[in-house]
């Protein structure tokens, strides 16, 4: 039986770059199980934190063959994936794009 996992993420920084962090809330199967994660950084950007939140959340999933819904308010992250920008960036080896290290990490876990 497949499990439903809802992931809510957010990231921010004070200044760009500046101190920042991310937060994650994971709900499994009709919210019977809830887990929260967060981490702070001394020098980062809001887009790095938004993307890192999604990556860390997906990496923490231990239940195989789950249905996963990720909710983010980051247009940077959602548009890159949903509008296909990320895959164009890959073809150009992320030339002149920010956060290639995190996008490569994301691609290792993206289905």
pTM of the model: 0.94
The domain limits of the chain are 4-109
DSSP string, the chain: -PPEEEEEEEEEESSSSEEEEEEEEEEETTTTEEEEEEEEEEEE-HHHHHHHHHHHHHHT--STT-EEEEEE--HHHHHHHHTSHHHHHHHTTTTT-S-HHHHHHHHHH--
Average pLDDT across each block of 10 residues of the chain; the chain has 111 residues. List them in order.
Answer: 90 97 92 90 98 97 90 98 97 97 96 78
CATH class in words for 4-109:
alpha beta
Q: Give the pLDDT confidence score for residue 1 in this predicted structure.
A: 63
């Amino acid at each position: 039986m497949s499990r439903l996992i809802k992931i809510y993420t957010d990231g921010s920084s004070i200044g760009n770059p500046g101190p920042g962090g991310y937060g994650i809330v994971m709900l499994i199967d009709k919210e019977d199980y809830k887990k929260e994660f967060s981490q702070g950084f001394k020098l980062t950007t809001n887009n790095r934190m938004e993307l890192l939140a999604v990556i860390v959340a997906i990496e923490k999933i231990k239940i195989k063959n789950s249905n996963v819904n990720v909710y983010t308010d980051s247009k940077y992250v959602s548009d890159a994936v949903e509008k296909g920008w990320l895959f164009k960036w890959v073809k150009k080896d992320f030339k002149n794009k920010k956060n290639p290290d995190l996008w490569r990490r994301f691609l290792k876990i993206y289905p």
